[in-house]
Amino acid sequence: MLSPKARRIRQMFSSIAPRYDLLNHLLSLNIDKWWRRKAVSLMRVTSCERPSVWLDLCSGTGDLSLEMIRQGAQRVVSSDFSHPMLRLNLAKLRQSQAIPKVILVEADALALPFATNTFDAVGIAFGLRNLDSMEGGLAEMRRVLKPGGRLVVLEFSKPTNAAFDRLFQKYFFAVLPRVGAALSRHSHAYTYLPESVSQFPDQAALRRILETCGFDRTGVVNLTGGIAAIHWGEKR
């Protein structure tokens, strides 16, 4: 059963789905593509060398799933709770001929319909911040990972240089919501974005949360001065 907040989040993402990719690439000047490539390259550094099954959680329109296939995943489960997002995801998979390798699953990240110890690697890009319970989501991700498997989290984070941070916050809180509202025709999705990022843990705090949730060998790397960061951790 989804909470009222999760239902609102699902409704918001479902209504911006048709413009989601355009806005992502425009508002990030295409840098988001490089961030996903880097995140997937860190999923490949896993102790599981055998034929692999990877999970793209909160997959949206599927850009991370496609990158997983490009970088050699043999089977990808691409899961999200927004039906319109998954429909766009499916259309992209068809275009790119990746369809035989990807399974789409409509599910809540807090109650995954997968058996314990299923996946060699789990990736989540810009999804963790939206979950009703971050710890509940991380516990599910850990549960479905095989022992030795790796979780990789790509999320917005905290710029490390104070002057750059001030400049970026101006863009994030003043420019992005206006452009986002005009192009997505959604009044608050792109106000929600900077607000949710400002409430999200910074690099060190998220790493501690991963450890508290039972992940070992954790690490973090900043992207574009800390605008985003990639965290990882393994299930022992």
Ligand X SMILES: C[S@@+](CC[C@H](N)C(=O)[O-])C[C@H]1O[C@@H](n2cnc3c(N)ncnc32)[C@H](O)[C@@H]1O
Rank residues 53 and 64 by Cβ distance to ligand X and give the closer one.
64
Rank residues 58 and 210 by Cβ distance to ligand X and give the closer one.
58
Residues 72-111 that bind ligand X (CB under 6 A): 80-82, 85, 108-110
Asked if residue 59 binds ligand X (CB under 6 A), the reply is yes
Find where tokens 């789905």 sit: 17
Asked if residue 27 binds ligand X (CB under 6 A), the reply is no
Q: Which of 16, 54, 60, 151 binds ligand X (CB under 6 A)?
A: 60
**187-195: long-range contacts, CB 8 A cutoff, minimum separation 24:** 188/12, 189/12, 189/13, 189/15, 189/16, 190/23, 192/12, 194/169
- Which residues have a Cβ under 8 Å from the Cβ of 144 and sit 6 or more positions away? 55, 112, 114, 115, 116, 117, 118, 119, 122
Q: How far is the C-alpha of 79 from the C-alpha of 62, rounded, in Å?
A: 9
- Residue 114 tokens read as 């997968």
DSSP tally for the chain: helices H, then strands E: 9, 7
Q: Compute the least distance from the CB of residue 236 to ligand X, in Å.
A: 26
Q: Is 17 exposed, middle or buried (0-12, 13-18, 19+ CB in 10 A)?
A: buried
Q: Compute the least distance from the CB of residue 189 to ligand X, in Å.
A: 9
Cross-strand partners of 75? 53
Among 81, 180, 88, which residue's Cα sits nearest to residue 131?
A: 81
**Contact track, ligand X, 131-160, x by CB under 6 A:** x-----------------------------
Rank residues 81 and 168 by Cβ distance to ligand X and give the closer one.
81
Asked if residue 172 binds ligand X (CB under 6 A), the reply is no
Number of residues near ligand X (by CB under 6 A): 22
Q: Which residue is nearest to ligand X (CB)?
A: 60
Rank residues 104 and 131 by Cβ distance to ligand X and give the closer one.
131
Q: Which of 13, 54, 156, 172 binds ligand X (CB under 6 A)?
A: 13
Cross-strand partners of 153? 124, 231
Rank residues 141 and 210 by Cβ distance to ligand X and give the closer one.
141
Asked if residue 180 binds ligand X (CB under 6 A), the reply is no
Q: In 3-state terms, what secondary structure has residue 113?
A: coil
The interface region with ligand X, picked from 57-65, 180-188, 196-204, 214-222 by CB under 6 A, is 57-65
Q: Is 50 exposed, middle or buried (0-12, 13-18, 19+ CB in 10 A)?
A: exposed
Binding site for ligand X (CB under 6 A): 6, 9-10, 13, 24, 58-60, 63-64, 80-82, 85, 108-110, 125-127, 130-131
